[in-house]
Chain A
Amino acid sequence: MNSFIANDGAFASVRQPSSRPSIWNVLGRWAFIMPLIVLNLIVIIIPSIFGLLLAFTDWSGYGPINFIGTANFTKLFQDKIFFQSLTHNLVWTAFFLTIPIAVGLLGAYLLSSIRRGQMFFRIAYFLPYVIASVVNAQLWRQLLHPRVGIGPLLAQQGITFLDFPIFGTRETSLMGVAFVDAWHFWGFLVILYLSAIAAVDVELYEVARLDGATRFQQFRYVTLPSIRPTLVFTILMITIWSSLVFDYVYIMTNGGPANSSEVMGTYLYQHAFDRFDVGYAASIGVMMSLWAMIAVAGFVILRRRGWDI
Chain B
Amino acid sequence: MLKKQRVQSSLPNYIVLTILALFALVPIFILFINSVKSTVEIGKNPIGFPQEILWENFPNAWEKGGYADTVRNSVILVSSTIVGSLTIAGLAAYALARLKLRGSGLIAFYFLVGTSVPPQLFMVPLFVMWRQVGLINTHLGLIIIYCGLYSPFATYLLRSYMVGLPEEFIEAARIDGASNMQVFTKIIMPLSWPGFMTAGLVIGLNVWNEFLFALTFLQDPTYKPIATSLFAFQGRFSRDWGLTSAGSVIMVLPVIILFLLLQRRFIEGLTAGGLKG
Q: Give the shortest distance, in Å, between A303 (CB) and chain B (any CB).
A: 13
> Is there a chain B Cβ closer than 8 Å to A211's Cβ?
no
Q: Give the shortest distance, in Å, between A7 (CB) and chain B (any CB).
A: 8
> Is there a chain B Cβ closer than 8 Å to A191's Cβ?
yes
> Is there a chain A Cβ closer than 8 Å to B248's Cβ?
yes
- From DSSP, what is the main secondary structure of chain A's interface residues? helix
A residues in contact with B195, CB < 8 Å: none
> Is there a chain B Cβ closer than 8 Å to A192's Cβ?
yes
> Is there a chain A Cβ closer than 8 Å to B24's Cβ?
yes
> Is there a chain B Cβ closer than 8 Å to A126's Cβ?
yes
> Is there a chain A Cβ closer than 8 Å to B267's Cβ?
yes
- Complex Cα spacing A229 to B156, Å: 19
> Is there a chain A Cβ closer than 8 Å to B83's Cβ?
no
- Complex Cα spacing A36 to B116, Å: 16
Q: How many residues of A contact B (CB 8 A)?
A: 111
**B45-84 CB contact bits vs A (8 Å, 1 = yes)?**
0110000000000000000000000000000000000000
Choose among B251, B271, B277 the residue that contacts A195 (Cβ–Cβ < 8 A). B271
Q: Give the shortest distance, in Å, between A151 (CB) and chain B (any CB).
A: 9
> Is there a chain A Cβ closer than 8 Å to B137's Cβ?
no
> Is there a chain B Cβ closer than 8 Å to A12's Cβ?
yes
- Complex Cα spacing A52 to B125, Å: 10
- Complex Cα spacing A246 to B230, Å: 17
Contact A114–B17 (Cβ < 8 Å): yes
- Complex Cα spacing A54 to B270, Å: 34
Contact B125–A51 (Cβ < 8 Å): yes
Contact B115–A125 (Cβ < 8 Å): no
> Is there a chain A Cβ closer than 8 Å to B112's Cβ?
yes
Q: Give the shortest distance, in Å, between B233 (CB) and chain A (any CB).
A: 9
> Is there a chain A Cβ closer than 8 Å to B231's Cβ?
yes
Q: A54-B124, A113-B13, A114-B13 are in contact. Are A132 and B208 (CB under 8 A)?
A: yes
> Is there a chain A Cβ closer than 8 Å to B178's Cβ?
no
Contact B120–A110 (Cβ < 8 Å): no
B101-130 with Cβ < 8 A to chain A: 101-102, 104-105, 107-108, 110-112, 114-129
- Complex Cα spacing A153 to B91, Å: 57
> Is there a chain A Cβ closer than 8 Å to B227's Cβ?
yes
> Is there a chain A Cβ closer than 8 Å to B95's Cβ?
yes
Most buried by A among B21, B31, B122: B122
Contact B10–A114 (Cβ < 8 Å): yes
B residues in contact with A2, CB < 8 Å: 274
Choose among B39, B89, B101, B145 the residue that contacts A36 (Cβ–Cβ < 8 A). B89
> Is there a chain B Cβ closer than 8 Å to A123's Cβ?
yes
- Complex Cα spacing A5 to B156, Å: 12
Contact B104–A133 (Cβ < 8 Å): no
Contact B105–A11 (Cβ < 8 Å): yes
B residues in contact with A133, CB < 8 Å: 209, 211, 227
B181-200 with Cβ < 8 A to chain A: 184
24 contacts between A and B (CB under 8 A): A4-B112, A11-B107, A14-B98, A26-B102, A29-B180, A30-B95, A33-B107, A39-B144, A39-B151, A46-B129, A128-B24, A128-B28, A130-B266, A132-B251, A133-B227, A134-B228, A134-B251, A135-B230, A142-B241, A149-B46, A269-B120, A281-B124, A285-B124, A289-B118
Q: Which 5 A-B pairs have the closest CB atoms?
A: A43-B148, A2-B274, A11-B108, A32-B95, A50-B125
Q: A33-B95, A110-B17, A124-B25 are in contact. List 7 more A-B contacts (CB 8 A).
A: A36-B155, A39-B151, A47-B125, A142-B241, A272-B123, A288-B118, A288-B121
